[in-house]
Amino acid sequence: MKKIIIGITDCSKYDAYAKWIEREEGVEALRLSYTNNNFQDIEKCHGIVLSGGEDIHPRYYNKSEYVEQYNLDDIIDDRDALEWKVLEYVRDRKLPLLGICRGLQVANVFFGGTLIPDIPSFGKFNHSKFPEYDRYHTIQVDPDSLLAKIVGSNQGSVNSAHHQSADLIGKDLVVNAISPDNVVEGIEWKNPKGKPFLMLVQWHPERMKDQESTYTKNIRSAFVESVRASN
């Protein structure tokens, strides 16, 4: 089996993402790091995972005032800049893309969407993690979506560890899953024909308690299979 290399954007929990993706046979993870300034290594990659972590600066969706209005102090400018370049590369080279948590948010903004800067402030239930562990809640999946085809169901239980979410959805994208209080939980292409694989999920499949759940295992396998098919 030909080895494939999956680039994963750097974050404090990078090792969890790398271990998770490398559970697929013949897959090697490669760290794309804003601290190591190694963007050029993306040329070795056959697919990309955008990892979770800090808030993207709201100037990327023309809402710089959100920084003070919602006390957004969890921002790393160098990370934002690197991941924007990664997304430009993915778009231009038509690479398969899997976005996780922040990854969903930055990709949605890249395609012209916006974010809710703080979910409870916008009248939704708290989706942040507890001090020692993730929340869990159900999600409803669009039965006609690619996500439904991948996970094999229209409803499931996923973990939750975020205080922001997608608001306006980016160009050519569509929501494929929502929480009970209508927070966006997944995004994919509106019309995938002729486009590379793209799946954006708000939960953390790499650290769900049940690693045999189709909401983690099947998503990873579908992504890796799409990478193999495109190489």
State the Cα–Cα distance between residues 186 and 142, nearest whole angstrom. 10
Rg of the chain (C-alpha set): 16
Please check whether residue 80 is in contact with residue 59, taking contact to mean a CB–CB distance below 8 angstroms.
Answer: no
Domains of the chain, CATH where assigned: 4-229 (3.40.50.880)
Predicted pLDDT of residue 100: 98
Per the listing, tokens 């439904």 go with 148
Q: State the catalytic residues.
A: 101, 204, 206
Predicted pLDDT of residue 2: 83
Predicted pLDDT of residue 172: 98
Predicted pLDDT of residue 228: 97
Residues in contact with 1: Cβ distance below 8 Å, sequence separation at least 6, in sequence order? 25, 26
Is 13 buried (19+), middle (13-18) or exposed (0-12) by CB count in 10 A? middle
Sign of the Cα pseudo-torsion (140, 166, 151, 190, in order): positive
Per the listing, tokens 């690197």 go with 82
Predicted pLDDT of residue 14: 98
What does DSSP assign to residue 55?
B
State the Cα–Cα distance between residues 14 and 103, nearest whole angstrom. 13
Structure tokens at 205: 């499949």
Mean pLDDT by 10 residues, the chain (231 residues): 94 98 98 96 98 98 98 97 98 98 98 98 95 96 98 98 98 98 98 97 98 98 97 87
Predicted pLDDT of residue 104: 98
Predicted pLDDT of residue 4: 97
Q: Number of C-alpha atoms within 13 angstroms, CB side, residue 156? A: 28
State the Cα–Cα distance between residues 30 and 76, nearest whole angstrom. 21
State the Cα–Cα distance between residues 215 and 148, nearest whole angstrom. 10
SS3 41: helix
Give buried/exposed letters for 186-218 (b at 16+ CB in 10 A, else e). bbbbeeeeeebbbbbbbbbbbbbeeeebbbbbb
SS3 98: strand
Predicted pLDDT of residue 231: 87
Does the model's pTM come out above 0.85? yes
